[in-house]
């Protein structure tokens, strides 16, 4: 299997996709933006106070020539007023003009509005800000895509030729059956975007009725709902399955012999955030997998949330992933 980032770089190169970075004064962001610009992969837009951006660039001897920079506090008043009007309109009476103007002084809100109004194709934030500061404006302004009631967070897990997707590992603490079904469908579509032919396992501590509990019933119900809601994926989603039955062919043959997914799963849907977060970190730290994400699923336009511990390489890779999500197939 080709490296994920080689595949995605080939996919986005030359399309002039614009990715806005609200944390433009951060050295990690600047270093990644320069690499992305110079390699022709995308057009970065850096937000922040002009003096702070230039000071950071000087300190790290970065050349930002050719990279668009916007100071939200210094934009043309007419442009700012237009953004205020569009934000008020988008909020449908829940936010007045003064509040909208105050919001737009925040770089995450300003960046989100650039995406919403088509002045940017995608947004990457979170190197400095906590997750809520990235996700909140996205939910208030961009909102969920048609057919989605909420967002979820997935990780691509890659090691050598192995590539899997784990969800929800980042956003929803508790998932009821309808939410779990929605996450399964979102994850199958994300998997396809990243070169995975989805075989979706709805994970549990039970396989095909081996244990009786309301938590098992939830996964069984979620499986049925996902198959009904996305009939084109019905044969590619199965549960409830324990991880060994989902992943190991010999175990699948014994525990779920009629399943088309068991033993071949590559997309793993965890029954709670607790399980999903623990699961991906075990695979990362004990299994030696690279954990790429979190990838926010279910939004009407791509927004990604970095870890505040991210390095320049992480920013570079997340930007490539986010840009790839902006391509309309």
pLDDT at 227 over 60: yes
Joined tokens for residue 75: 């934009």
pLDDT at 329 over 60: no
Contact 196, 240 (CB under 8 A): no
pLDDT-based confidence at 233, cuts 50/70/90? very high
Helices assigned H by DSSP within the chain? 4-12, 27-38, 50-59, 77-91, 97-103, 107-116, 131-137, 177-193, 214-229, 243-247, 249-255, 273-285, 312-325
pLDDT digits (tens, 9 = 90+) for 63-80: 999 999 999 988 889 999
Question: Is 137 a residue whose pLDDT tops 80?
Answer: yes
Return the percentage of the chain with pLDDT > 70, whole number: 99
Tokens 């989605």 -> residue = 148
Produce one character per residue of 264-292: b if its CB has 16 or more CB atoms within 10 Å, e if not: bbbbbbbbbbebbbebbeebbeeeebebb
pLDDT of 278 above 70? yes
Mean pLDDT over 158-180 rounds to 92
Burial 59-96 (b: 16+ CB within 10 A, else e): eeebebeebbbbbbeeeeeeebeebbeebbebeeeebe
């Amino acid at each position: 299997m080709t490296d994920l980032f080689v595949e995605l770089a080939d996919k986005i190169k030359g399309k002039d996709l614009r990715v806005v970075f609200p944390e433009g004064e951060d050295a990690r962001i600047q270093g990644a933006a320069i690499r992305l610009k110079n390699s022709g992969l995308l057009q970065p837009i850096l937000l922040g106070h002009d003096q702070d951006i230039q000071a950071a660039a000087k300190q790290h001897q970065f050349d930002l020539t050719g990279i668009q920079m916007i100071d939200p506090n210094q934009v043309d008043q007419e442009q700012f007023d237009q953004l205020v009007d569009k934000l008020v309109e988008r909020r449908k009476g829940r936010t007045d003009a003064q509040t909208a103007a105050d919001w737009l002084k925040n770089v995450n809100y300003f960046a989100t509005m650039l995406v919403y109004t088509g002045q940017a194709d995608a947004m990457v934030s979170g190197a400095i800000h906590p997750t809520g500061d990235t996700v909140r404006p996205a939910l208030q302004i961009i909102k969920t895509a048609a057919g989605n009631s909420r967002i979820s967070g997935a990780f691509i897990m890659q090691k050598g030729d192995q590539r899997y997707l784990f969800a929800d590992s980042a956003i929803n603490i508790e998932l009821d059956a309808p939410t779990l079904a929605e996450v399964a469908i979102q994850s199958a579509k994300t998997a396809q975007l990243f070169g995975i032919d989805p075989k979706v396992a709805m994970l549990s501590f039970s396989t095909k009725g081996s244990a009786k509990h309301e938590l098992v019933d939830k996964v069984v119900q979620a499986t049925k709902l996902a198959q009904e809601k996305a009939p084109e994926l019905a044969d590619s989603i199965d549960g409830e399955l324990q991880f060994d039955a989902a992943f190991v062919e010999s175990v699948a043959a014994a525990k779920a012999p009629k399943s088309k997914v068991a033993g071949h799963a590559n997309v793993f849907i965890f029954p709670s955030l607790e399980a999903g977060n623990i699961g991906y970190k075990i695979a990362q730290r004990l299994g030696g997998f690279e954990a790429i994400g979190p990838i926010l699923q279910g939004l009407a336009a791509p927004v990604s949330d970095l870890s505040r511990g991210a390095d320049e390489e992480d920013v570079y890779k997340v930007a490539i992933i986010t840009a790839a999500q902006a391509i309309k197939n």
